[in-house]
């Protein structure tokens, strides 16, 4: 089985990606290759941050790899939190802190539309490629559901009436931003001989 490094140690992201990719590739985490670096995410775009992480692993560890960055863009907040999605409530915040802050900022606001985007940067066989997956939706007025992570309890994908946290992993992966970006990644990998 071919190995490919996913430049992440986030157990939730690793589980989602491994579930979507299936048996064709063994997906290694940063810890699996001995990378315990605090990789800086200093770009002002999702694509820029994904490329920083992928290049870091390739240049320092030599592995073909892919990295992602995900952003939640809320219309009522002029696209925030965007590139700051994981650090919305501060540098050392928890996902619960981020959710609570977003709900406070939107309290009483009827404009709840938002979108989630994931950008995946792949470095393989000396080539860089970037894929994006986006899902439109809206922000719930309160947390609902127990599956998932991050903003999943408050993001309702368009046309579903359920938050990601109410769907279960397989249903979420079929329509999520990360699922869509990973499907494009798999198309690229499957096209290789």
Known catalytic residues are: 69
Terminal Cα distance for the chain, rounded: 14
Structure tokens at 149: 């992570």
Looking up tokens 């990360």, which residue turns up? 178
Query: Among 152, 136, 153, 135, which Cα is nearest to 144's?
Result: 153
Q: Which residues have a Cβ under 8 Å from the Cβ of 48 and sit 6 or more positions away?
A: none
The stretches of 148-192 forming alpha helices (DSSP H) are 169-175, 177-191
From residue 87, alpha-carbon distances to 27, 61, 94, 136, 179 in Å are: 26, 27, 8, 21, 22
């Amino acid at each position: 089985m071919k190995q490919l490094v996913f430049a992440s140690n986030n157990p939730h992201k690793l589980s989602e990606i491994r579930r979507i990719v299936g048996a064709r590739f063994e997906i290694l985490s940063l810890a699996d290759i001995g990378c315990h670096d605090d990789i800086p995410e200093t770009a002002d775009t999702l694509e820029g941050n994904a490329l920083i992480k992928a290049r870091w692993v390739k240049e320092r560890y030599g592995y073909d790899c892919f990295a992602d960055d995900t952003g939640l863009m809320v219309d009522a907040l002029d696209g925030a939190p965007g590139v700051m999605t994981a650090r919305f409530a501060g540098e050392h915040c928890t996902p619960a802190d981020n959710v609570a802050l977003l709900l406070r900022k939107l309290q009483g606001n009827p404009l709840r539309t938002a979108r989630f985007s994931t950008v995946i940067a792949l470095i393989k066989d000396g080539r860089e490629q970037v894929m994006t997956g986006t899902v439109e939706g809206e922000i719930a007025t309160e947390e609902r559901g127990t599956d998932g992570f991050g903003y999943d309890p408050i993001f309702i994908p368009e046309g579903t009436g359920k938050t990601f946290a109410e769907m279960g992993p397989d249903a979420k992966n079929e329509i999520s931003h990360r699922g869509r970006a990973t499907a494009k990644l798999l198309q690229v990998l499957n096209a290789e001989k």
